[in-house]
Amino acid sequence: GNSVTQMEGPVTLSEEAFLTINCTYTATGYPSLFWYVQYPGEGLQLLLKATKADDKGSNKGFEATYRKETTSFHLEKGSVQVSDSAVYFCALIGAQKLVFGQGTRLTINP
């Protein structure tokens, strides 16, 4: 079946540091890939998505590229801010089923 594996957290960085959160997946066919973010005390928000190989999703300075050859969808940001502190979930949808990774808690210190 489909599965998503995320880099284990928690991750703690200083403000303006470079961020990478790794995500790899196993799926049949050609799933769409997503990053969701959950800020403290809030629900899940869609951060970005990519629907086919080599697509790059981007939003709020975050980027992720759909890499079919490495089955990866790593999340990156060049300069993180304190307000980026949240839990990040990688996910895929295939045959209308959404499968999540375990989530990575990110804390940014000023």
Partner 1 sequence: DSGVTQTPKHLITATGQRVTLRCSPRSGDLSVYWYQQSLDQGLQFLIQYYNGEERAKGNILERFSAQQFPDLHSELNLSSLELGDSALYFCASTGPYSGNTIYFGEGSWLTVV
The binding site for partner 1 (CB under 8 A) comprises 32, 34, 36, 42-46, 49, 51, 89, 93, 96-100, 102-103
What does the DSSP 8-state code read for residue 41?
T
Shortest distance (Å) from residue 82 CB to partner 1: 23
Q: How many CA atoms lie within 13 A of 102 on its CB side?
A: 7
Dist CA 2 CA 41 (whole Å): 29
Closer CB to partner 1, 18 or 52, in the complex: 52
Closer CB to partner 1, 17 or 22, in the complex: 22
Whether residue 10 has a cis bond before it, omega within 30° of 0: yes
Shortest distance (Å) from residue 45 CB to partner 1: 7
